[in-house]
A = this chain, B = another copy of it.
Amino acid sequence: MEQQIIHTQRWAITLAEELLKMEADRIVVLTDCNVARQDWLRRGLCELGKILPIRIDSIEIGAGEEYKNLETLVSLWKRFSESGLTRRSIVVNIGGGVVSDIGGFAAATFKRGVRFVNVPTTLLAMADAAIGGKTGIDFNGLKNEVGAFAPARKVIIDTSTLSTLPEQELRSGFAEVVKMTIVTGCRDLYNRLVEPDALHNEAILAAGVRYASDEKEKIVREDPFDSKGVRALLNFGHTAGHAYESYAAEIGHPISHGEGVAHGMLAALRLSHERNGLPIEDVEEYEEKILRRYYQPLPFGKEAAERLEELMGHDKKNKNAGEINWILIDRI
């Protein structure tokens, strides 16, 4: 099932137009409590209501990964059921990855599949999480243990919604944008991302989001169920990154996904230099102009090496237990 990525500067109007084309009999808008209190959201929903001649319901969930759980899922199913959602209705997920993950899964499993549209409002969701059909909840203490491959029919991206995003969230998503330019070899855009203060330059950020989201869509289209290995490319920097995240949490100094990935990419670039002949200048440029500029040092040193190797061996993306799969490159 194809997934249409739409870039816009007026998300509410674009959303209204797309929903009209989709002939929904009803809309449910899902947000989290952070997004719900933004002025741009209230204004947008108001515009939506003026254009759409159908009933629009709103559901708000708690903000943060800890709400991506069974309890929230069941509450969404219940709300859908009680409000009489039909298979012609559409769920609109406005928020970060948690909102599109759980809202997408709830929609995909209600009446065996209600259509949904994602409007990502974090950099991470725009560049990565909202695209590609991976939906689900954390369960039994494990991330995304329950879920489905179910693409949003449309992903509507408006980078103006990033204006209210906390700095920390911006940095977390930036790592994924940088990653995409590295793994797809888009040197031109990478050169802009290493410019001073690129993270706060609206034009550069918008270009980065547009590029990363379109590339992600292409990669996903080739491998919708993550079964052919094509998506492995997206794992660049994540082998070490996930291990850093886990270890940091173990020692009581948790780091964000973006921080883990940013440091993980340095490890992958270094290994790419040693094994694949990536010029050392590229490694140094990344370290100086991306990693040092936007990310804190890791909260541990060389003493972690043994445990990190162990953690990398447990990564669920490894085919065989104990084996570590690195994604390496030979040029940026």
Residues of A within 8 A of B (CB): 70, 74, 77-78, 81-82, 105, 108-113, 134-136, 139-140, 142, 144-149, 225
Contact = CB atoms under 8 A, between A and B. Distances in A.
Nearest to A225: B113
A89 B276 CA distance: 35
A149 B111 CA distance: 10
A231 B74 CA distance: 30
Nearest to A147: B112
Nearest to A74: B70
A144 B74 CA distance: 15
Given A113-B225, A225-B113, A77 B140 contact: yes
A142 B78 CA distance: 11
A77 B145 contact: yes
A112 B147 CA distance: 4
A327 to B, nearest CB: 20
Nearest to A226: B112
Given A77-B140, A140-B78, A113 B145 contact: no
Contacts of A139: 77, 81
Contacts of A147: 109, 111-112
A4 B78 CA distance: 35
Copies of this protein in the assembly total: 2
Contacts of A109: 105, 109, 136, 146-148
Nearest to A150: B148
Contact of A77 (B110, B135, B146): B146
Given A70-B74, A74-B70, A113 B81 contact: no
Given A145-B110, A147-B112, A140 B81 contact: yes
Contacts of A136: 109, 112
A149 B113 contact: yes
Interface centre among A144, A145, A149 (most CB of B within 10 A): A145
Given A81-B142, A113-B225, 16 more contacts: A77-B140, A77-B146, A81-B139, A81-B140, A81-B145, A109-B109, A109-B136, A111-B146, A112-B134, A112-B135, A112-B136, A112-B147, A112-B149, A113-B148, A113-B149, A148-B148
A112 B144 contact: yes
A149 B113 CA distance: 8
A331 B145 CA distance: 51
A77 B112 CA distance: 18
A82 B139 CA distance: 11
A207 to B, nearest CB: 31
A113 B146 CA distance: 9
A89 to B, nearest CB: 13
A311 to B, nearest CB: 17
Nearest to A133: B112
A151 to B, nearest CB: 12
A111 B146 CA distance: 5
Contacts of A112: 134-136, 144, 147-149
Instruction: Among A108, A110, A146, find the residue whose CB has the most chain B CB atoms closer than 10 A.
Output: A146
Nearest to A110: B146
15 contacts: A70-B74, A77-B140, A77-B145, A81-B139, A81-B140, A81-B142, A81-B145, A108-B148, A109-B147, A111-B147, A112-B134, A112-B136, A112-B148, A112-B149, A148-B148
